[in-house]
Amino acid sequence: MLSIRARLVLGFAVLLGLLFAVAAVPLQRLEDLTARTHDIVDRQVQLAILSQRANQHAQAAAIGLLNLMQTAQREARVPQYAAMDAELAAADRAVAGLEMAMLTPALRIDLERIGDLRRRYGELFQATVELIEIEGSAPARRHFEDRTQKVLNTLLFETQALEARLQQAMQAELEQLRLAATNARRLVILLALGALTAGAFMAWAIARSIVRPVGEAVAIAGRIAGGDYQTLIPAGKHDEIGALMGSLATMRDSIASREERISRLAYVDLLTGLPNRTRFLEILGQLPAGSRGAVLMLGIDRFAPINNALGHAVGDRLLCEIAARLCLAQGGNCVLARLWGDEFAMLLEDADQAVAALHAERVLAALRAPMMVDDQRLDIDASIGIALYPRQGESNTALLRRADLAMAGAKRRHAGYLVSTGNENEPPHEELSLIGEMREALARGEFLLHYQPKLDLAQQRITAAEALVRWRHPEKGTIPPGRFIPFAEQTGFIREITPWVLARVIADAAQWRRDGIDVVASANLSAFDLLNRDLVGLVRRLLDEYTLPADRLCLEITESALMDEPELALQHLKELAALGIKLSIDDYGSGQASLAYVKTLPVHELKIDRAFVDGVDTDTRNAAIVRSTILLCRELGLTVVAEGAETPAELAWLRTNGCDLVQGYVVARPLPLEDFLPWVRDFRPASSDLECSVS
Ligand code: C2E
Ligand code: MG
Ligand code: MG
């Protein structure tokens, strides 16, 4: 196949050739016609002249003969002979000229007859001349009139007839020329039409051979632009179009592979090869409206310590192994994704709670089988949160969030999996705005501490007080910690609240000491704080700064705070205990921790959760739990605090059963700092009834 350039060059060359031919043929014909016309005209004119001359000279000779007959003296006739001979010779030359001219066979016969007549006339002329000389003018005149003149007349007649026939022949030839000219014109028109047709056909063929594949290439490029990378690209010929098609194929392949790489980076978790969070949310978004199913969020328990202890490379391999196990444990109708870190998500379409729970159990069982990573046996466990849909007006992220909160609940309770009820710890709408306002609130000094006294039942005096944070909101009034601390923990903002609380509590406790009041101040720590590597250093610095003896500070920790990363939490507890700080287990009984476990911790105090203290004087079950807890704590050397005692009867029961300290409304509600000191100073315990001291 010729290249486009070669085709164009060839096409234009042929077109130019046709044009040249169309121009050259008529030119040549025209020249030919002109030459032939000239030739015919010249020849005819010449022949006419010659025949006229032959007649004139023959007539002149005849006139000379008549004159001769009237000339009586012979001497006078002699010069006339020469003139007559000259005329006859001229007439002969004219006839010879006519003979020499190219004539048609018919004319040639005429000419031969004229030649014969001329010779006959010459002979009779000569005979007339001889009669003049021999017999005189009279017999000569008779001879002339009877014979010579008749032949002369015939000669003249024939010559004129020849001339007329020559004219006719010329007309015929001219007619032929006209015909030839007409034919030439037709030929030119035909040639021009042929050239035009050939040119048009060639232009069409060349254009088609270029335009069609170019159009096809444009359509292919359009399809590629539209994201169709499967589009077939014809190989094309060995020309520029073939090269263009080849480039399009290369472009399609490289765009496809680049796009695949980009979407891989955007949608795939590179470590495990599973879909990532973005992809998972996208899949959630593509669920048909009203469809039902379950989203399962899975978090590996204590993954961070494994990662820290064995290194991130092992941690990564462990995650890959976990991903492989999860893949194996999936049924057909399940999407598995890694959201981040040690968190995976599964989407079970058309699943109800029972199916989702069964799936969660299967997944957990698969993960619990020991794993070998780098020749090390690792036993891992996981917690799963399940959120069921369809949901009403709930976004995909909110659905994921519900599963996340359920997973956190499952982790806290060591329950394996938990199905979201839809209202666990999820901030109500109003609180969402509080989350956003927290940062400014801290900067604007809207947070403050209240102190709730702890009454030592043996000493009958206030020996400690717990700091409880409050938010004095400019519009919403005082907001209790239960409405913002959980979210501060979830959003990580607790990282900023706790240092502020610690600084305030230590400063206040130091001031109390200077004021001569010996009260241990307690501050609450959240799980997040306990895992914070800066915590111990911060506490040490604050104690130094305010010169507060470490044993005047108590830090309260809930059991669940110890569950996420027990090793790190324990390490921090030990470091805090080493500083001489008192440590307290808060809300004891609300979680899963046993006293056997608490015994292993470097803690000094245990606060029995309000749920057990409530109605302890009447509720035998609570009474049994609290009594045995008090006894066990005594044996373990732990101080027992009963939280939330509200009635004098509860207080009396607690005193009777050997509880060390009581913190509850029966003693005092949490008090603003400015009220706290006067209250402590004025505190006079009634021996049996403390109702009067409740503010
Ligand atoms: P908590 O540490 O167990 O604090 C005791 C909670 O019980 C306080 O609620 C207190 O007001 C309440 N309370 C005490 N006696 C009674 C009673 O007789 N009856 C009843 N119904 N309630 C009583 P508050 O102040 O609302 O604090 C709730 C929780 O918020 C605290 O529980 C603690 O976990 C958390 N919290 C408070 N302040 C802070 C803080 O500064 N940091 C951290 N991380 N958490 C804090
Ligand atoms: Mg507390
Ligand atoms: Mg408590």
| Structure confidence by residue, pLDDT tens digits, 188-229 | 788 788 878 877 888 788 777 778 888 888 888 898 888 888
Residues 6+ away with beta carbon under 8 Å from 313: none
Phi/psi of residue 585, nearest 5 degrees: -90, 115
Separation of alpha carbons 141 and 66, rounded Å: 8
Q: What is the pLDDT of residue 649?
A: 96
Separation of alpha carbons 104 and 166, rounded Å: 10
Is the pLDDT at 284 greater than 70? The verdict is yes
The minimum-distance atom of ligand 1 relative to the CA of 587 is 3
Mean pLDDT across 224-235: 84
Separation of alpha carbons 370 and 380, rounded Å: 7
User: Does the Cβ of 586 fall within 6 Å of ligand 1?
Assistant: yes
Is the pLDDT at 2 greater than 80? The verdict is no
User: Does the Cβ of 469 fall within 6 Å of ligand 1?
Assistant: yes
User: Does the Cβ of 524 fall within 6 Å of ligand 1?
Assistant: yes
More confidently predicted of 628 and 237: 628
Give the distance (Å) from ligand 2 centre to CA of residue 524: 5
Give the distance (Å) from ligand 2 centre to CA of residue 556: 6
In the chain the domains, ranked by start, together with CATH numbers, are: 4-202 (1.20.120.30), 277-419 (3.30.70.270), 448-681 (3.20.20.450)
Is the pLDDT at 690 greater than 60? The verdict is no
- pLDDT tens digits along 484-542: 898 888 778 898 999 999 999 999 999 999 999 999 999 999 988 998 999 999 999 99
Residue nearest atom 37 in ligand 1 by C-alpha distance: 468
Q: What is the pLDDT of residue 429?
A: 55
Give, for 382, the enclosing helix (H) or strand (E). Answer: strand 382-389
Ligand that comes closest to the CA of residue 469: 1
Instruction: Give the number of other CB atoms < 10 A from CB of residue 78.
Output: 10
pTM of the model: 0.50
Task: Look at residues 76, 63, 88, 62 and name the one whose alpha carbon lies nearest to residue 133.
Answer: 76
Among 447, 448, 454, 468, name the best residue to mutate to test ligand 1's pocket (greatest count of ligand atoms within 8 A of Cβ): 468
User: Helix axis angle, 535-546 relative to 494-514, nearest 10°?
Assistant: 30
- Return the residue matching tokens 């029966």: 666
Separation of alpha carbons 87 and 64, rounded Å: 9
Is the pLDDT at 695 greater than 50? The verdict is no
Q: What is the pLDDT of residue 673?
A: 95
More confidently predicted of 280 and 490: 280
- pLDDT tens digits along 149-199: 888 888 888 888 888 887 887 788 888 888 888 887 888 788 788 878 877
Check if the beta carbon of residue 640 is closer than 8 Å to that of residue 630.
yes
Residue nearest atom 22 in ligand 1 by C-alpha distance: 644
- pLDDT tens digits along 535-561: 999 999 999 999 999 999 999 998 878
Is the pLDDT at 694 greater than 50? The verdict is no
The minimum-distance atom of ligand 1 relative to the CA of 450 is 25
- Return the residue matching tokens 């500070």: 553
- The fraction of the chain above a pLDDT of 70, given in percent, is 95
Residue nearest atom 11 in ligand 1 by C-alpha distance: 670
Q: What is the pLDDT of residue 692?
A: 38
Separation of alpha carbons 527 and 587, rounded Å: 14
Q: What is the pLDDT of residue 103?
A: 67
The minimum-distance atom of ligand 1 relative to the CA of 501 is 41
Mean pLDDT of the chain: 86
User: Does the Cβ of 87 fall within 6 Å of ligand 1?
Assistant: no
More confidently predicted of 96 and 671: 671
Is the pLDDT at 332 greater than 80? The verdict is no
